[in-house]
Each structure stands twice: as C-alpha cells, then as structure tokens.
C-alpha cells in the first residue's frame, strides 16, 4: 500500500497555528499572554476586594435606617437611603470644629517634619563628617525601635516642662528635633533620594558661587520633589491617624472648646459623646435615634473622608513620586 506523503505547507501551517496559540496563551517577550493576564487581573480583583470590602460595607451600613439594620435581607442595599445617621454623627463629633483642629494638628507638624528630615537626609547623603557611620547606625537602630519604647520618656519630658496642656507644642518640638512620628523613616527616604542626585550638579553650583545653603535650596530641594510628596503624604496620614501619642500629648483634661482634638479621638469616644449629646437633645430626639451600628459607621466614614479625598485628588502624583523615590512600601 502506498503511503501518503505529508504536505509541507500543511505541516508548516499547523506549526504556525500551534506557535500562535502558544503565544496567545503564554505570551512572549513583548506581550503578556492570556493566562498571564488572567492571573494578574484575578489577583488584582481579589486584592481590591479585600481592601474595598470594609469600606463598601461601612458606607452601605451608614446609609441604612434602623429597620434595615434589623432586616437580615438588607445586607448591602438599603431599602431607602437616609442621611440621618450622618447628621447624628456630625453633631456627636462636633465634626467641623474637630476637623479644623485635626487639620491644624496634622498640617503644621507635617511641614516641620518634612523640612527637618530633608535637611538631615541631605546632610547624610552629601557630606562626610566624623563618626558618620556610627550616626547612621544609630539612625537605623532608632528606625527599628518601636515607637512605644520612646513614648513614655517623651511624655515625662513634656510633662516636666508643663507642655501637656492641650496645645501643639509637643508635636512641633518633636518634629523640629527630628523626633516626630516615624521621622527616622522620613530621613532614610530623603537620604536614599539625595544619594541618587549627581553630586556634580551641587559641585557646579558651588563653583558658580553658591554656598551650601543656596545649593541646598536651589538644587537639592527642587530635585527632591518626588521624595517631598511621599514624605508629606505619609507624615500627614500618620499625624492624622495617631491616637495614643496624641491623647497623651493633648492631656486628658482638655475639652473641645479650649483644647485641641482630632477626629480619631472623637471617634474613639463616639459612644460616650453620643450619650452626652442625647441627653442634651432629649426633647427633640426619639428613642429610635439612640446609637446603633449605622451611626457608628457614619462617624467612621466622616473620620476617614478627608484622607480618602486627599488620596483620590493626589493619587497620580503620589504613585509617580513613589516610583521616582524608589519606595516599595512601609
């Protein structure tokens, strides 16, 4: 029986189809394949869900009425949207007054910390001085130490100086002295960034007559824009979210009218504040308006709302700055 000879064109066509299918599924050096894209998008969806689930759940619950909270079928979508929970939370937290005080308490120390940490990081990166390696080792050791180890000594120092009086003094002093919230990390970020700047630029400026200070402000600072954005946002969030040290520095005897406060402190004392406010509004508030999970969720949304707005507004600049500064996370 005579064997059929295989057609070379058909063989070549079959091999090309196999290669095309393989490239389509697995990809090549220039393009990711279907399987690779599927795995990447699946991971992104899972991670996004993990991060977004608490926020979406919190917002959904904050818009529910008491009847929806008691209805097991209304897990995510309220039968009717209500803003009454937010009204109660705003009154309980004295929201606008607390927001202004929180901004003051976070913005001013943040700018001090960014300026001081930039100078210290520039000094470590630019100059050689006696015992530089030892000071760098001490800086790294301070970075590794948990903040709780220095909280009590700092508190006792400010207490002896009679600065635990509900003012911003402890925050400003620690920021100016390079001891603010996670200042060592900020210094290391600026140090790593300034090391990447060509020293020839600074030397050329000094040859043209610029002194050390002028070279720092005219050359180093403009080139460190990415690091400044990263450190500013990180510091602002840290000062905004801190509760333990803020409560200690502000003192336990301060009130909203005379002392500083933050939205996080108001949130931690939300239930007691609501009880006090309820007795004040007793004539106009019904028993159904007593505190419930929806009102607590509304208070939490209001407390984190400024940070969420800040992130959405500065998202592009923040991502670009993180990429330029070489920050992988903290």
Average pLDDT per 10 consecutive residues for the chain, totaling 330 residues: 57 67 65 74 88 86 78 71 84 87 90 91 86 86 80 84 81 86 87 81 75 80 83 88 81 58 82 65 50 82 88 74 53
Q: Which residue has the tokens 């699946």?
A: 42
Locate 155 and state its tokens.
Answer: 């508190």
pLDDT the model gives residue 73: 67
Q: Are 24 and 34 in contact (CB under 8 A)?
A: yes
φ/ψ of residue 98, rounded to 5 = -65, -35
φ/ψ of residue 27, rounded to 5 = 85, -175
3-state secondary structure of 27: strand
> What residues does each domain of the chain span?
93-325
Q: Cα 108 to the chain's mean position, in Å?
A: 17
- The CATH class of 93-325 is mainly alpha
The rounded distance, in Å, linking the Cα atoms of 176 and 95 is 29
Q: What is the pTM of this model?
A: 0.75
The rounded distance, in Å, linking the Cα atoms of 4 and 236 is 78
Neighbours of 9 (CB within 10 A): 8
Alpha carbon distance, N-terminus to C-terminus of the chain: 75
The rounded distance, in Å, linking the Cα atoms of 292 and 81 is 16
pLDDT the model gives residue 287: 47
pLDDT the model gives residue 211: 78
Phi-psi region of 81 (alpha: psi -120 to 50; beta: other; left: phi over 0): beta
Strand partners, 32: 27
Q: Are 258 and 250 in contact (CB under 8 A)?
A: no
pLDDT the model gives residue 65: 79
Q: H or E stretch including 309?
A: helix 293-325
pLDDT the model gives residue 27: 64
Strand partners, 27: 32
The rounded distance, in Å, linking the Cα atoms of 207 and 217 is 16
DSSP symbol at 32:
B
Q: Are 201 and 218 in contact (CB under 8 A)?
A: no
pLDDT the model gives residue 328: 45
């Amino acid at each position: 029986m005579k064997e059929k000879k295989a057609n070379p064109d058909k063989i070549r066509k079959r091999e090309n189809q196999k290669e095309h299918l393989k490239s389509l599924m697995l990809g090549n050096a220039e393009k990711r394949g279907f399987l690779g894209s599927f795995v990447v998008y699946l991971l992104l969806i899972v991670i996004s869900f993990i991060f977004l689930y608490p926020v979406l759940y919190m917002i959904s619950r904050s818009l529910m009425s008491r009847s929806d909270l008691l209805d097991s079928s209304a897990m995510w979508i309220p039968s009717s949207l209500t803003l009454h929970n937010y009204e109660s939370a705003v009154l309980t937290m004295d929201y606008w007054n607390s927001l202004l005080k929180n901004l003051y308490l976070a913005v001013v120390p943040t700018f001090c910390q960014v300026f001081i940490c930039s100078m210290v990081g520039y000094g470590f990166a630019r100059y050689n001085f006696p015992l530089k390696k030892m000071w760098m080792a001490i800086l790294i050791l301070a970075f590794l130490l948990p903040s709780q180890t220095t909280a009590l000594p700092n508190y006792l120092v400010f207490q002896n100086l009679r600065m635990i009086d509900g003012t911003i003094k402890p925050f400003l002093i620690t920021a100016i002295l390079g001891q603010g919230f996670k200042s060592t990390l900020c210094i290391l970020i600026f140090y790593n960034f300034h090391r990447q700047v060509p020293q020839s630029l600074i030397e050329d400026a000094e040859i043209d007559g610029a002194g050390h200070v002028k070279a720092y402000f005219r050359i180093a600072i403009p080139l460190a824009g990415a690091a400044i954005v990263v450190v500013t946002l990180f510091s602002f969030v840290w000062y905004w979210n801190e509760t333990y040290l803020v409560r200690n520095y502000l003192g336990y005897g301060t009130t909203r009218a005379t002392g500083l406060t933050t939205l996080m402190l108001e949130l931690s004392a939300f239930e007691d504040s609501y009880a006090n406010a309820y007795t004040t509004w007793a004539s106009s508030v019904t028993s159904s308006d007593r505190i419930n999970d929806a009102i607590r969720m509304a208070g939490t949304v209001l407390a984190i709302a400024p940070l969420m707005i800040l992130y959405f507004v500065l998202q592009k600049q923040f991502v670009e700055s993180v990429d330029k500064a070489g920050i992988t996370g903290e």
